[in-house]
Structure 1
Amino acid sequence: MPAEMKPTESVWTRPRPRQREQLTREQIVAAAIELLDAEGVEALSMRKLGTRLNAAATSLYRHVANKDELIELVVDEIYGELAPPPATAERARWRPAVAGIAAELRAMTLRHPWIAPEIGQTGLVHVGPNAVRMTSGLLAQFEAAGFPADEKDQAAGTLMAYVIGIATTEAAYLSAIARSGRTEREWVAELRPAFDEASREHPGLREGSSAQQDTHPRRIRDDAFDYGLARVLDGLAARLDA
């Protein structure tokens, strides 16, 4: 390794510091999640987090070297909200098992809208214990399905790309609505007249929207996610058949 190159570092790849004070890593992570959920990644800083914990920023730096390491810990903590993947991977059950993991991952992302870009930046590279548990469980399902060793990672990556992609869009949409102070139904209802006017000369577009105007927007989002997920799984199943 050239002298100027340093090994990739992670908060997970070095020993945890000895506890020397009352402030713990768990307290730091919990407060960071509260701040992120309330204000987003842009608002997170070590100084602001220290104020929230009534502690000096230097106390935080004894646990994490920088904001990036804090994000590593926080993302893994959120991964811990996911139910453990099925312990026994069965060929006949791979599809519902994978669909369940995908649905939980989407729900997790919508509970914490700021997390989607953080996951999307590195895909399955997170090496915290909760992320590794989820990834290992997902790969086990694809292995049980019959994907060869050189394809199961790609199959899992394809699924993750779909889930994170659609969840990122949904999270941004819901965050915009939250900033407006309206409910999703109110926001959509207020936007409809403008959409109807804009689509006046596009009857196909307007017809599709009109057919769903009495359906709750959340149901429309759920149906869209389920449809896309089913088509991704159809494609993977077809690959197995081939």
Structure 2
Amino acid sequence: MAKEFSSVWTRPPRRPRSTGLGREQIVAAAVELLDAEGLEALSMRKLGVKLNAGATSIYWYVANKEELLELALDEFWGLVEVPEPEGESWRTVLTTFAYSLRAGMLEHPWVGGLVGRMPMVGPQAFERSDRLRRAFVQAGFAGLDIYLASSTVMGYVLGQVLPELSLMRAGGGDWDYEGAMAVMEDLAAGYPELLADYKRAMPTDPAAARAVAYDFGLLCVLDGLEARLPTGRSAQPRPS
């Protein structure tokens, strides 16, 4: 049997109580805890201690931890930069979005554990989604292609960032380049051309290597989407 859809956004927010504690304060404190201690460490008890509030005060606004996480996730989406499409090329809009989302997820790693698990139906998520939709419409996409193109970009970003977050959770830190290359030269001694190509082409700084890979992949994704546009469509913004 299919699970019934439910969300904190399906009911209106409750009015603040006389204590002065509001939903915005609760969500802000939850985000601070998530940033400091991670997704698994968040509890309603810790949140109550941080806010110096009892459980009753918190549960007045959120029914459970899942609702709290939904609110925190939408708060994150409010930090993701998506320019207004009017006056910008669609590629500028998508490039800004892709880099802002990557930077935001690396700064707030707990988001990676919620994407795909939580419904993203809050006001901030919808506002960003609509900007992306308008950017693709401006480019010349129509119908289902608008949403397929948007999910393609989103899939690329998540496919690049989620492994980075996994590396961070696994103990953090990058491989020592010199030590790693010494091991590679031994293990891959039968492939001298491969080793030579790798050492000649790859940046020695792992963070730089990931940034270069991200740049290359994003350009390929956007080039591929642009190739699917009707002939004659331009990547430039429409005249005002």
- State TM-score, norm by structure 2: 0.84
In structure 2, do the counterparts of structure 1 residues 240 and 197 end up closer, same or farther at CA, with 3 Å as the change threshold? same
Corresponding residue for 2:195?
206
Q: Distance in 1 between matches of 2:150 and 2:3?
A: 30
Q: Distance in 2 between matches of 1:62 and 1:232?
A: 45
Q: Distance in 2 between matches of 1:171 and 1:188?
A: 20
2:48–2:58: 8 Å Cα contact kept in structure 1? yes
Which protein, 1 or 2, shows the higher relative CO under an 8 Å CA cutoff with sep ≥ 6? 2
The gaps in structure 2 that reach 5 residues or longer are: 232-240
**Which has the higher mean CA deviation after the structures are superposed, 47-56 or 230-239?**
47-56
User: Aligned AA for 1:110?
Assistant: L
Corresponding residue for 1:224?
213
Report the Cα offset of residue 197 of structure 1. Answer: 3.4
Report the Cα offset of residue 241 of structure 1. Answer: 4.2
1:177–1:187: 8 Å Cα contact kept in structure 2? no
Alignment RMSD (CA, Å): 2.5
Corresponding residue for 2:35?
37
Q: Distance in 1 between matches of 2:184 and 2:114?
A: 32
Report the Cα offset of residue 76 of structure 1. Answer: 0.8
Number of residue pairs matched by the alignment: 230
* Mapping for residues 50-199 of structure 1, pairs under 5 Å: 50-88=48-86, 93-121=89-117, 125-178=119-172, 184=174, 187-199=176-188
Corresponding residue for 1:235?
224
1:97–1:141: 8 Å Cα contact kept in structure 2? yes
Report the Cα offset of residue 188 of structure 1. Answer: 4.5
Q: Structure 1 vs Structure 2: percent identity of aligned residues?
A: 43
Q: Distance in 1 between matches of 2:201 and 2:120?
A: 39
In structure 2, do the counterparts of structure 1 residues 213 and 236 end up closer, same or farther at CA, with 3 Å as the change threshold? closer
In structure 2, do the counterparts of structure 1 residues 210 and 85 end up closer, same or farther at CA, with 3 Å as the change threshold? same
Report the Cα offset of residue 7 of structure 1. Answer: 5.5
Report the Cα offset of residue 89 of structure 1. Answer: 6.0
- State TM-score, norm by structure 1: 0.83
Deviations 1:65-94 (A, max 9, x none): 11111111101111111234224166xx11
**Which has the higher mean CA deviation after the structures are superposed, 29-38 or 208-217?**
208-217
1:17 paired to 2:14? yes
Query: Secondary structure in 2 aligned to 1:119?
Result: coil
**Which has the higher mean CA deviation after the structures are superposed, 138-147 or 77-86?**
77-86
Give every structure 1 segment of 4 or more consecutive aligned residues whose post-TM-superposition deviation is greater than 6 Å.
none
